[in-house]
Amino acid sequence: MATRESALIVGVGPGLGRALGVAFARAGWPVGLAARSETVAGLAGELVGEGRTAFALRYDAADESAVAAAVAEAEAKLGPVGVLVYNAGNMVRGDVQEIEPAAFRMAFDAGPYGAFLHARAVLPGMIARGGGALLFTGATSAVRAPARAPAFAAAKFGLRGLALSLARRWGPEGIHVAHVLVDGVIRTPRAASYLGPDEPALLPDELAANYVMLAGQPKSAWTFELDLRPSGDDIGDN
């Protein structure tokens, strides 16, 4: 890790986003924690209390000017962004007769459009330094669309396509692009209310450890797509 490079985690909620912030901070990265909710400040305070370097950023991930300002502020406070983790998303359920056009658009705004804006904001610095990592949180829906979630599936397919295009273009320039396909339910506080104690589920902290691993992979052996699922789940189960 280059001196004073930072990790920007976009989409810090109570599950995987929180775990990502904690994992990168404890691995020694100064972390920018980005979300629309004010609760992100609480996590930043916890990490600072541990002696880590963390800074909270509240903005809309699909607002072009807000993204540019947030990246500039993060870099001023924490150092150049060496790792971008784009974890934002918007699960919109319902078939095409049930989903309002605005809701469909929101899924895209939180997915590939927001990811595009963030990649566009951090790439110039990474290109100038000759390295960096762009890590994107995908889902089963990126490769196997559910019947009643066309908006979410289209957004996740789009995010995966964006990641693949970025990897082809910028991988040769030393920038590692990876798509993490989360194939299963994450055991978040919300999911715990309906998951049985023995039901297979992905644990946020263990998921997050894989992102830290990806950020540190040597150039001779980069992963583009990392497919993660809990033990006990059937591979390819529809």
Lowest-confidence range among 18-22, 53-57, 98-102, 172-176?
Answer: 98-102
List pLDDT tens digits, range 200-229: 778 999 999 999 999 999 999 999 999 999
Lowest-confidence range among 14-18, 37-41, 61-65?
Answer: 37-41
List pLDDT tens digits, range 128-184: 999 999 999 998 888 888 777 888 899 999 999 999 999 999 999 999 999 999 987
pLDDT at 17 over 80: yes
Query: What's the gap between Cα 179 and its chain centre?
Result: 9
Domain residue limits, the chain = 6-228
pLDDT at 194 over 90: no
pLDDT at 238 over 50: no
**Confidence grade of residue 56 (pLDDT, cut at 50, 70, 90):** very high
CATH code reported for the domain at 6-228: 3.40.50.720
